[in-house]
Structure 1
Amino acid sequence: MKIILPVAGKGTRLRPHTHTKAKSLVHVAGKTVLEHIISRLMILGADEFIFITDENGKQIEDFMAAKFPALNCSYTVQKERLGPAHAVALAAPRIAEGDDVLVVFNDTIFVTDLEQIPSLCAESDGLIYSKEVEDYQRFGVNVVRGGYIVDMVEKPDTPISRLAQVGLYYLKDGRRFMGYLEATIAAGDKVKGEYYLPSVFMRMIQDGLKFRAPEIDAWLDCGKPETLLETNRYLLRGRHHVHGEVLNTVLIEPVHVEKGAIVRGSILGPNVSVAAGSVVEESIIKDSIINANSKVRDLILHSSILGDSVTLIGSPRRMNIGDHSLIEMEG
């Protein structure tokens, strides 16, 4: 198996955290988004991890070499921003006859049993993983009849289907898939100036290929600050890990403090992750992500994300308040 990971893209919805780093290297629940994804893929024993990168590709390469040195990885730069299908097509030179392919987009951390791929795909040509959602108008959805996908609709006005595509795709015949990608691009089949995978899959379906739409257990969006915090809460659920130095501090589970982080005289939690190299002192923090090498002192924070090497220092207040007072200090 070859695994294709398109990690290009500006990550504009996550700014300012993606001004200086690849969006997949943002931390959540004690790991980068990319580390969460790769860890879930290890069970497949893939022959090669093919990264489609942009100008931040060296960051991805350095990260993989440090965290997963044993994996066989290759890197191709997407020089033109022509959409997701174009990015995946750049992997074609790495796909040989007989290769099956898994395509994994990096805005999402998925929860599903990938070992079931052979049984799920026994009588089909591929899998387009899905998740039932209430706000179907926001997504491309799969329309399923008789167990197979018969249509795909982008952001439907009516609930023709609630099975949203989650950015995880398995193709039994990788070379044939690459051929359909190339045919779609050659035909100029664009949407708003870019090439998208549903156009490719619909060509395949119209030619008689069969796709199933297995539903994943959880779809954890990491594309926006608010959804990144939701994902942090989900991943920390039932996981209370303190590997760093914690002194004179109250921890309200769940909290994740990485090795190399220091917390002193504070109250942390619930749902707080603190990355290595960071120092938190005399602060109260809940529902927040503190990235690497940051310093926080004398602050009350909630629903916050701090990037790498941030220094955020508040000041203690001195008050002389009489009886029956009401003081509200909005944060």
Structure 2
Amino acid sequence: MINIVFPMASEDLFEQGGKKIPLQLFEINGRPLISYIIESFSNVKGIKRFIFIINASHADRFALEKTLKLLCPKKSLVLTVGKTKGALCTVMLAADFIDANELLVVNSDQLILNIDVLLEKFKKSKCEAGVLSFKSTLKRWAYGLIRNEKLLESFVRNPTSSNALAGFFYFKNGIDFLINAKKTIKNSWTTDGLFYVPSVLNQFILDANTINAIKIDEEHILNLYSKDMINKNRKNLSK
């Protein structure tokens, strides 16, 4: 089994049709954005358990919890939380459901194509963790120092290279993730006072773990974090 965690605790709302809604419910071709993200995992082999961690204020007000359960009727959990100190802290609220199985921590506003192929590459390499990188210089992303397809260091919102890290983090063993995440929080490795998942990768590296980095082309990643990006990529999303 593979656990797939979506940290979605942000309080941000986006306007569509005169109403403000969570980005995950933004309508694209008659479907909510999150349905495309979930569908992208359909070709992944084996049992999948989706764990959505959403803002409590969005659960009932926008029926986000019910929508997620309809989209993932089997092997899914929806946890409702308040404001946290960053995405890493949000993920840690699902610690009771993260075990020694493989773990993915995934953004809900970024569509990655051919996930099954990418996961197989990570598994065959026998790495402890894996990341995907693409070209960018925008401050909104985390970045990686990559050499010979290995991540040597990650930097949150600091474009020290053009190797931006996608919001897609693979861990061979969920327990190892929890151990290193706790160390990251204990060491107060924050950016602007918040804890982020890429910082955990540095703890893995300090402990001499191998983190593979796969470079993906622009056509294999659709960024959907704003209305402008959604409109730009709308034609690439099927109904």
Regarding TM over 0.5, the answer is: yes
CA distance in structure 2 between the partners assigned to 1:111 and 1:143 by the alignment: 23
Higher relative contact order, structure no. (Cα contacts within 8 Å, ≥ 6 residues apart): 2
- Give the secondary-structure state (helix, strand or coil) at the position aligned to 1:232: helix
- Corresponding residue of 2:231: 229
Alignment of 1:218-297 (within 5 A): 218-235=220-237
- Corresponding residue of 1:215: 215
CA distance in structure 2 between the partners assigned to 1:117 and 1:92 by the alignment: 22
Alignment of 1:54-203 (within 5 A): 54-55=55-56, 56-58=58-60, 59-69=63-73, 71-96=74-99, 98-121=100-123, 122-133=125-136, 135-156=137-158, 160-203=160-203
Judged with a 3 Å threshold, the aligned counterparts in structure 2 of structure 1 residues 18 and 48 are, in CA distance, closer, same or farther, namely farther
User: What amino acid does structure 2 have at the position aligned with 1:78?
Assistant: V
- Corresponding residue of 2:23: 23
Judged with a 3 Å threshold, the aligned counterparts in structure 2 of structure 1 residues 141 and 171 are, in CA distance, closer, same or farther, namely same
More helix by share: 2
- Corresponding residue of 2:38: 38
The alpha-carbon deviation at position 77 of structure 1 amounts to 2.4
The unaligned stretches of length 5 or more in structure 2 are none
Judged with a 3 Å threshold, the aligned counterparts in structure 2 of structure 1 residues 17 and 88 are, in CA distance, closer, same or farther, namely farther
- Give the secondary-structure state (helix, strand or coil) at the position aligned to 1:10: coil
8 A Cα contact 1:43 1:115, kept in partner: no
8 A Cα contact 1:25 1:32, kept in partner: yes
- How many positions carry a matched residue from both structures? 231
- Give the secondary-structure state (helix, strand or coil) at the position aligned to 2:167: strand
CA distance in structure 1 between the partners assigned to 2:107 and 2:115 by the alignment: 17
8 A Cα contact 2:68 2:78, kept in partner: no
- Give the secondary-structure state (helix, strand or coil) at the position aligned to 2:5: strand
User: What amino acid does structure 1 have at the position aligned with 2:236?
Assistant: Y
CA distance in structure 1 between the partners assigned to 2:55 and 2:115 by the alignment: 30
8 A Cα contact 1:10 1:18, kept in partner: no
Could you tell me the TM-score, scaled by structure 1's length?
Answer: 0.64
- Give the secondary-structure state (helix, strand or coil) at the position aligned to 2:237: helix
Judged with a 3 Å threshold, the aligned counterparts in structure 2 of structure 1 residues 19 and 83 are, in CA distance, closer, same or farther, namely farther
* Cα deviation code 1:263-311 (max 9, x no counterpart): xxxxxxxxxxxxxxxxxxxxxxxxxxxxxxxxxxxxxxxxxxxxxxxxx
* Cα deviation code 1:245-274 (max 9, x no counterpart): xxxxxxxxxxx6xxxxxxxxxxxxxxxxxx
CA distance in structure 1 between the partners assigned to 2:18 and 2:93 by the alignment: 23
Calculate percent identity across the aligned residue pairs. 20
- Give the secondary-structure state (helix, strand or coil) at the position aligned to 2:205: helix
- Give the secondary-structure state (helix, strand or coil) at the position aligned to 1:41: coil
- Corresponding residue of 1:11: 12
8 A Cα contact 1:136 1:163, kept in partner: no
CA distance in structure 1 between the partners assigned to 2:18 and 2:120 by the alignment: 37
The alpha-carbon deviation at position 119 of structure 1 amounts to 3.0
* Bigger Rg over Cα: 1
* Cα deviation code 1:170-196 (max 9, x no counterpart): 100111101111222233322212101
- Give the secondary-structure state (helix, strand or coil) at the position aligned to 2:50: strand
CA distance in structure 2 between the partners assigned to 1:147 and 1:62 by the alignment: 40
CA distance in structure 1 between the partners assigned to 2:213 and 2:151 by the alignment: 7
Quick check: 1:50 aligned with 2:54? no
